[in-house]
Amino acid sequence: MSKTNKKAKDPRFLIAEKEAWIGVGLVLFNFIWWFGFAYGPLGSESVENYQYVWGMPAWFFYSCVVGFVVMVVLVIIMVKLFFKEVSFDEEGIEEEGELK
């Protein structure tokens, strides 16, 4: 059996691909969140008109501080709900291609 056929039948690759797409989605969400606050209405004002939260410009506080907290919560939720524990050993795969 060639490597590509083995890869296509191995369910670990399907799980890994799904989890990789979840990671890409989280990265894109994080970038859009950061960019939206940094270059959106809060960050595009002149410096004299900035609003401040805890001594930081509001755009920085919401994009970096709040964004970090949001991302930590989202990653925890995604890992708990969508990620599966997968064996890296060949012994963890049954003949039918199912995980033990």
pLDDT score at 83: 83
Residue 90 lies in a domain: no
Nearest to 100 by CA among 17, 12, 18: 12
**Residue 88 covered by a domain:** no
Q: Please indicate, yes or no, if residue 51 is contained in any of the structural domains.
A: yes
Task: Give a yes or no: residue 1 inside a domain.
Answer: no
pTM greater than 0.75 (yes/no)? no
Residue 96 lies in a domain: no
Query: Is residue 56 assigned to a domain?
Result: yes
Query: For residues 78 and 22, is the Cβ–Cβ distance under 8 A?
Result: yes
- What does the pLDDT read at residue 40? 79
Has residue 93 been placed in a domain? no
Most confident of 68-72, 85-89, 90-94: 68-72
Kindly state the average pLDDT of the residues 78-87: 85
Query: Which of 26, 35, 21 has the alpha carbon at shortest distance from 77?
Result: 26
Mean pLDDT calculated for residue range 7-24: 83
Domain that residue 76 falls in: 9-83
Q: How confident is the model at residue 96 (pLDDT cuts 50, 70, 90)?
A: very low
Residue 100 confidence (pLDDT): 47
Q: Is residue 99 part of a domain?
A: no
Number of domains in the chain: 1
